[in-house]
Chain A
Amino acid sequence: MNRIVPLLIIALTVLAFATLLLVAVPAMQIRSVEAPAGLEPYTEQEARGREHYVNLGCVYCHTQQPRDSSQAPDTQRGWGRASTPADYIYDSPHLLGTMRTGPDLLNVGARLPSRAWQLTHLYQPRAIVPSSLMPNFPYLFEEKDQAEEGDVVVKLPQKWAPENKVVVAKQAALDLVAYLLSLDRTYPPEQLHLRDHGYRRDESAAQFEGSGADREASL
């Protein structure tokens, strides 16, 4: 290799080839997906809550991609059916995640639908799960002598409640919980052939969307 220009051109061609395969072709394939009937776009409040989820970095400990039951017991753990590209049609940025220091959250709204539970858990995770490694988020709440009208008071066990004060959720906490409760993909899966079926023994099951095996896998 004694010439710079051919070196650079071939190097860029190789990258362009990879981009075609990893970006362009999947984009063409996935763009045909339409929004599932059971999935609503985020409301304004949920979208604000999602922004908090993003900027507080929840994605670094929580995935949003339950795996197929042929691979892992995600569905058995109550995290929902294996997800498909259609489930993420309103998601930007995507929050698929790469780490499960905490559980998967794609269906947390269906699994833990109580706003009060979610608020207590955000204020102090160890008030609910003593061994939890999740950070507490005190700055999403404020302590007041007395709750005012319209305040949402956080229910806390004696051990974690401040003395002679009440803990009230700030708007950010309410928005974040609204987002968490919106996470519910329990409708039937769509375009199931567009997800990874590499762990399925029975290839034919993957070919036909909505086949018996798929229904079993869904919640």
Chain B
Amino acid sequence: MNLTIGTLLAFSFAVSLIALAALIWAISRKQFQVTQKDAMSIFDNGKPGTFDDPSHPSGRLREATTLPLSPAVRRLLVLGFSTAVFWLLLGSVFGVIASYKMHLPDWLNQAAPLTFGRMRTMHLNLVIYGWLSLGGITTAIWLVPTLFKTPLRKAGMATLGVVLWNLGVAGGVIAIGSGWTDGMEWLEIPWQLDILLAVAGACLAIPLVVTAAHRQVEHIYVSAWYYMAGLVWFPSLFFLANLPSTHSGVQAATVNWWFAHNVLGLWLTPLGLGAAYYFIPKIIGKPIFSYRLSLLGFWALALFYSQVGIHHLIGGPVPTWLVTLSVVQSVMMVVPVLAVAINQHVLWLGNFWAMRESLPLRFIATGALMYTFASLQGSMEAVRAVNTVTHFTHYTVGHAHLGAYAFVALVLFGAVYYMMPRILNRPWPFPKLISVHFWLVFIGFAIYFIALTLGGWLQGLAMMDASRDWLESMELTIPYLQARSVGGTLMTLGHLLFAVNVYALFAGKQPATANAGNAIPATDLGAR
């Protein structure tokens, strides 16, 4: 079939008409009338002005917007976060091993599960599905009811969802380690085990949508747009991409990258942005800069981000129009990114005192800033002239970690540090470790990112230069790969401190001295 320009024009005309009709409907039903007052809905009685950080020595463990939690919901949240942190630790260890193997190729190769190709894959699946997805969903399980001022519905179903999700992640990683894989990047977990994850995803999405239907607030705050949309996007993506034996060859490659980039854009990004849009203003005690702008940012993200995936196949065996479409949409991503950047950065930059006071805010605002950097870098990287150098190099790996780690993981760290004391009514047992955690992962990641970005760029230039032997492009990366291992090790140490704090808190450990005055006796737990 030949796709003519005429067909495309007719198609885009039809789409514009539908979009116009939707716009008229939305305006006539006053769907776009969001005001700055709506941005205040996260504060007590809509009145901003109070700094709020439960992890701070003078912070309040409970405040007016704190929703009473039933013991079942509290158990669900503890289960979700404790398993997510476990996957983070295991995934980091595999990541560091894979990193060392890149410059020590004869190390630890006695058996197939230890080989680089499997270690790297176990790392990716653990941190994406085990840590970021599970951590993000658990955050939503706390945040969505808080935003809607109503208890979580169907908590039993959600608990089953967390259990099944963990079984799916564990089974998937064991399968990959033992050589049972579907073989496509981001889709390695065998489809038979994906069924577990799909059922788990439904068990997690349904309670949150039902909770939304019972909401006690008129306005749906921007964080909830991201969460609600992400919760229907991800199951659709995951289901369609994992249908067995539907696609082969190059077709499978377009499905592969449609899925893989949408996992970032329509799943991890909503999880990260949803949290950032709540915690940054909540901690500082002031609303975001322009609430109207957040509406533009949200819909532009949905429209543009969903079509960027094929930039992974630039210069590849797929039709030119398809690649060009994804390149154009990648550049268009500047629109939602700037909208989010203006909204979030203006707020925390203008209240920099809060960055010094609140460690959760420091994590989350840094994460939000990295979202801006990662996205702008991604837009540039998709431009053909840049992509021709960076494609197939470590530069891309650095970029992927800037988005998934420096943005989403950092936001999650901060969110957990904020939420857990409030959920458990107990302060962090080792508050000083929080700051050490921040600096370890900050410095570790800086080394990681700078090394791979520089090394990858030089690698790409060498690969493009016909007068240089190809081997040079590999040899010159070695010092940068070694630096990456150093950075990755520091990040993993940071995760270890995070885990110590989280598990000690769950085990009921109280801080030695400091803010003991704020601690509510353990016997009060669940008494509210």
Contacts and interface: CB of A to CB of B under 8 A. Distances in A.
A joins B in a complex: yes
- Among B306, B388, B396, B471: residue with most chain A CB under 10 A: B306
B319 A194 contact: yes
B112 A139 contact: yes
Given A1-B220, A23-B258, A133 B320 contact: no
A127 B253 CA distance: 34
A20 to B, nearest CB: 9
A196 B313 contact: yes
A92 B248 contact: yes
Contact of B115 (A2, A96, A135, A194): A135
A18 B248 contact: no
A121 to B, nearest CB: 13
Contact of A57 (B117, B256, B474): B117
Given A131-B475, A199-B384, A136 B319 contact: no
Contacts of A30: 249-251, 318-319
B133 interface: no
A55 B183 contact: yes
Nearest to A82: B317
Interface in B253-285: 253-258, 262, 266
Interface in B61-78: none
A14 B325 CA distance: 15
Contacts of A21: 307, 322, 325
A57 B116 contact: yes
Contacts of B251: 26-27, 30-31, 85
B228 interface: yes
A91 B248 contact: yes
B218 A139 contact: no
Given A99-B392, A100-B393, A196-B320, A68 B315 contact: yes
Interface stretch (B80-88, B103-111, B409-417): B103-111
Interface in B172-192: 179-185
Interface residues of A, number: 84
A48 B86 CA distance: 35
B106, B248, B257, B317 — most chain A CB neighbours (10 Å): B317
B233 A15 contact: yes
A195 B116 contact: no
Given A32-B1, A93-B182, A133 B474 contact: yes
Interface string B375-401: 000000000100010011100110000
A219 interface: no
B17 interface: no
Interface stretch (B462-470, B487-495, B506-514): B462-470
A6 B32 CA distance: 12
Given A71-B315, A91-B248, A101 B474 contact: yes
Contacts of B181: 54-55
Interface in A1-41: 1-4, 6-8, 10-12, 14-15, 17-19, 21-23, 25-32
A120 interface: no
Question: Which of A22, A25, A96 gathers the greatest number of chain B CB atoms within 10 Å?
Answer: A22
B310 interface: yes
Name the prevailing secondary structure of the A interface residues. loop
Main secondary structure, interface of B, reads helix
Contact of A93 (B106, B184, B315, B320): B184
Interface stretch (A59-67, A147-155, A161-169, A210-218): A59-67
Contacts of B318: 26, 30, 85, 194-196
A63 B253 CA distance: 12
B225 interface: yes
B450 interface: no
A7 B183 contact: no
Contacts of A187: none
Contact of B220 (A2, A23, A100, A135): A2
B265 to A, nearest CB: 10
Interface in B302-331: 302-303, 306-307, 309-310, 312-320, 322-327
A103 interface: yes
B248 A11 contact: no
Contact of B302 (A14, A28, A125, A197): A14
Interface in A89-135: 89-103, 125-126, 129, 131-135
Contacts of B229: 7-8, 11
B115 A137 contact: yes
A24 to B, nearest CB: 10
Contact of A56 (B22, B115, B247, B388): B115
9 contacts: A4-B212, A21-B322, A29-B1, A56-B117, A83-B317, A92-B245, A98-B391, A196-B314, A196-B317
Given A92-B245, A99-B397, A198-B324, 20 more contacts: A1-B220, A1-B225, A2-B31, A11-B232, A12-B233, A21-B322, A27-B247, A30-B318, A30-B319, A54-B181, A60-B121, A84-B317, A85-B317, A97-B392, A100-B463, A126-B105, A135-B115, A195-B319, A195-B320, A206-B320
